[in-house]
Amino acid sequence: MKKKLALMLATITTVATIFTGCGKDVSGNYVADVKLADCMSKDDLDTMSEMGIDMGDITLDVTLELTADKQFTMSFDTTNFKNDFSSLINDNMDKIIDEGLAEAGVTREDITDDVATVMGYDSAEAFFEDVEKSMVDAMDSAYEEMDKEIEAATVTGSYTVAKNSVVFVTKDEGDLGLDKGTIGDDGSISVATEYEGNSFTLDFKLQ
């Protein structure tokens, strides 16, 4: 009788494990990336394209920390984005400046040394150097503002594991919405989310 009872309890435990995910440890640090082109409007992408800037390969890293006590933190790491985007801007600086001049109704050839002197510069070269510096300074300022917004967008809460799924419960209702995550055979976690009406799937890879 004791053996039958023990067998029955073992069977119940096995079934419970299958449906609740008991014993499955998904704690760790994960990283996913978001293609910024998926978040931008067609008009913005067309404008970038006209300046020779292809946003197709520019991504933003999203980090997900799952602790052993079933708490999570999802945040954004802008390091790679800023490096890649800055390189893209620097590589296309002349085209960007030419586009700005065209909007003002002039061309690079119109900015002669004489014209630059009237504007308070020693030469046309000094004028263009100042324009480039102004653009770099503006980009750095934009990065600072972006980092502040990104830091405020950090999402925290708790999670549970059920079979091959991870269910997230955020602390604040205003946080970025997280749907149920799916655990892959390779240990990755795919999470559906939504931002400003756009739906995304974040494929988190265990680091």
pLDDT by residue (tens digit) across 135-153? 999 999 999 998 888 888 8
| Cα 26 → chain centroid | 22
CA distance 132 to 187: 45
Question: Strand, helix or coil at 46?
Answer: helix
Q: Please, which residues have CB within 8 angstroms of residue 23's CB and are 6 or more apart in sequence?
A: 17
Q: How far apart are CA 141 and CA 126, in angstroms?
A: 22
Q: End-to-end alpha-carbon separation of the chain, Å?
A: 48
Span 56-114, pLDDT tens digits: 888 889 999 999 999 999 998 999 989 998 998 899 899 889 988 998 999 999 999 99
**Residue 85 near residue 57 (C-beta atoms within 8 A):** no
Q: Write down the domain spans for the chain.
A: 26-206
Pair 32, 62: CB distance under 8 Å: yes
Q: Which amino acid is at 50?
A: E
